[in-house]
Structures are given as C-alpha cells and as structure tokens.
Amino acid sequence: MRDVAVVGFAQRQMPEFDGSPTCVELLVPLFAECYEQTGWTRRDVGFWCSGSSDYLAGRSFSFVQAVDAIGVIPPVNESHVEMDLAWAMYEAWLKIQTGEVDTALVYAFGKSSAGVLRRTLALQLEPYTMTPLWPDTVSLAGLQARAGIDAGLWDETAMAEVANRSLTDAEKNEWSIRKGGSSVAELLARPVYADPLRKHDCSPVTDGAAALVLAAGDRAREVRDRPAWITGISHYIDPMGMGTRDLTRSPSAQRAGAALDLGGVEVAELHAPFSHQELILRRELGLADDVTINPSGGALTSNPMFSGGGIRVGEAASRIWSGEAGKVLGHATSGPALQQNLVCTMAADVEGAAN
C-alpha cells in the first residue's frame, strides 16, 4: 500500500443556504481554500471525486454542474458517488493506491433545506412496504433509541450527556449551527419531542459543502510538516430492514473498526446524527473512555447531508496537522439508523500506514 495522507480540508455549514442547489457558489471558495492550504493549482490535482444526491436537489443530474467549479478545460479525471464525502474520499484513496495518480481533491455538497429533509429521506427506504408509510428519519432514530433504552444499554441521561458535551464543544467551532451547552439536568428538563427523543438529540437540518485533499508520499510531505497519514480505511454495510436487524447494534461499524488498528487513537470524530448513535458507535468501535470524542461538536450540532461524514475525517485530520494528536479516527455513516459505516484512522507517524 502507498502512504497517503489527508493534507487539505475546507468546509461551509449553515442553517439555510439561499443559493442554487447545485452549490457551485459554495464550492468555488472551498477549492480556493484547498489551493491555498496546499500551494497547488487545479492542475496539480490528479483525480476528483464528489458526493451528492439528486433527491436533496429535487432534480436529476444535480451534480453535473459542480464540475464547473473546478474549471474543466482541460478536462479532468473525475468521478461521482451518490454517497457521503467520506466514500468519495475512499474512491480517491483507491485511485491513488492503483498508482494512477498521486493527488486527489474530493468534495461534497447538499442543500438539505430545499425540501423537508426528514421526509425526503423516507425515499431511502425499501420502496414497496416502507416508503409508502413515509417513515421519517427522526422516527426511525426514535425506534432505535427506545430499543437501547428498553434493553438497558443507555438512558436519557446518557443521551443528554452526549448532547451537552457536543453543544459545549460546538461553541469553539465557527461552523456549528447549534451550540451552547448547559447541563444534563437542564437538557433533561426540556420537553420530549419525538418520544424518546428531545430536539437536542437530533442533528439540525444543515446545508453545506466540504472538500478534502489527499496526497501520496512526498507530495504530502511537500504540503504539510505533519500530514495526516491514512493508516487504515474500512467500510461495511448492514441490511436495511428495521425489523430484521438488532437496532441497538451496528455490525457494519464494528466490522469497519475491527479491520483497523484503533489502539492509541486519541481523538475520534464520530458521525452520529442522533445522540444515542454516538453511544452505539463508541461501543462498536470499542473506544476507551480517555478517547476525546467529537471535539468539533460533531454532527449533532451541524450535519450537512453528504458532507457531514467527510467533515468528521477533515476535523480529525486537522488535529494531526496542529500537533494536538498523534493518532485520530474519522467515521462516517449513511442510510437509516447507522446502516452503512466507514472508519478511517490517521496518524502523524507514517509507520504502519497500511490498510
């Protein structure tokens, strides 16, 4: 395996973007930030890959205009996944592993606020016997949260602890759209919304975009003193059926973590759009109590669809660049109730940089 590092990261998050769902307008300054961080121009980028969804935009081929933001004369080596940024990054990492290219810029975008997000996402479900009932995202998460509460695996206090820590940490993140921790008692005193969930147990509807830059070997060392070397990247999917899987578990997250060496991880950015999902992920990944979780405030405070997972990788990588941590973990999820999961470990030390 080639040594590949995350060397650039830029993001935009907001409650309501008043521009076009193509998000070209958001991407232009993101790419400019990536060029500034790397000292590159677009011609230094060997491969491009993006992630987005036509159903967020409400039209077919909503991703095609995004390539304008790159400037595609001459044409580029480019691909697109109908998935989160983290999986676009995975495709780019593969491309670099084949030896075809040494560098990549991956990006994702989504205007969640264009429609009613929790309803739009009902179209992700099995279309014959689930979608016709329009089960919304919050309801599916509520079923999952209750299953864990009933099984004694967590309780509303544990969920409020996650929310309070996230809201407190979000105060330091200029991009978080919900912030301001108080106390577990105060959070528990707030009304229950979708029983058993309170509003702060659910991520807010967020618009946004993000970009990550990958580079191999010396190309990475040229960019940063402390590149975030990808020491492992792994992803799996579970069946969708809400009735056939144990909702208190996420076997795909467990498998993705088990495929990597998580020993020594100091910071973990977990893509948990609902508070109880962080508790599931910590358990499935076997993270020790001294691992710092979601210092960015996490997806619970800001979760732009299709970039929310990749942002976790970028936030984790930035802790390596800054010297705050020597080994970090970024996680992304997709599908209802933690159906699909990706885990990426990064380290300042290139030793052991292999899958």
Partner 1 sequence: MARTLSAPVTVAFDYTRSTGPVLGRFLTGLRDGVLVAGRTSEGEVVVPPLEFDPVTHQATSDFVEVAPVGTVTSWTWVPEPVKGQPLDRPFAFALVTLDGATRPLLHAVDVSSPEEMSTGMRVRVRWAEERQGAITDIAAFEPDPGGDGVATTAPGTDEPVTGVVTPVALDYNYAASPEESAFYRGLNEGRIVGQRCPACQKVYIPPRSACPADGTPTAEEVELSQTGTVTTFCIVNVPFLGQKITPPYVSAYVLLDGADIAVLHLILGIPAEEVRMGMRVKAVWKPREEWAFSLENIDHFAPTGEPDADYDTYKQHL
Partner 2 sequence: MGKQPAAIVGVGQTHHKAKRTDVSMAGLCREAIDRALADAGMGLDDIDAIVVGKAPDLFEGVMMPELFLAEALGAAGKPLLRVHTAGSVGGSTAIVASSLVQAGVHKRVLTVAYEKQSESNAMWALSVPLPFNMPVHAGAGGYFAPHVRSYIRRSNAPTHVGAIVAAKDRNNALKNPYAHLHNEGTTVESVLASQMLWDPIRYDETCPSSDGACALVIVDEDTAAASPNPAWIHGTVMRSEATTAAERDQVNPQASRDAAAALWKQAGITSPIDEIDAAEIYVPFSWFEPMWLESLGFAAEGDGWRLTESGATAMDGRIPVNCSGGVLSSNPIGASGMLRFGEAALQVRGAAGEHQVDGARKALGHAYGGGSQFFAMWVVGSEKPSS
**Token pair for 92:** 């780019």
CA torsion, ordered 80, 84, 90, 93, to nearest 10 deg? 70
Q: Using DSSP bridges, classify how beta strands 78-81 and 103-111 pair: parallel, antiparallel or unpaired.
A: unpaired
Q: Which does 243 bind (CB under 5 to 8 A by kind): partner 2, partner 1, none?
A: partner 1
The closest of 213, 265, 266 to 34, measured between CA atoms, is 213
Site string for partner 1, 191-220 (x = CB under 8 A): -xxxxxx-----------------------
Q: Which of 18, 41, 73, 225 binds partner 2 (CB under 8 A)?
A: 73
* Residue of the chain from 9, 35, 175, 236 that contacts partner 2 (CB under 8 A): 236
3-state secondary structure of 199: helix
Per-residue contact string for residues 21-50; x = within reach of partner 1 by CB under 8 A: xx-xx-xx--x----------x--------
Q: Which is nearer to partner 1, 318 or 339 (CB)?
A: 339
Question: Sign of torsion, CA 247 292 231 109?
Answer: positive
Least distance (Å) from partner 1 to the CB of residue 254?
17
Site string for partner 2, 41-60 (x = CB under 8 A): -------x----xxx--xxx
Does residue 59 bind partner 1 (CB under 8 A)?
Answer: yes
Do 169 and 287 contact (CB within 8 A), yes or no?
no
Paired with 322 in beta bridges are: none
Q: Binding residue for partner 2 (CB under 8 A) from 98, 174, 225, 289?
A: 98
Number of residues that bind partner 2 (CB under 8 A): 63
What do you get for the CA distance between the two ends of the chain, in Å? 7
Nearer to partner 1, 36 or 134 (CB): 134
Return the residue of 36, 150, 222, 324 that touches partner 1, per CB under 8 A: 150
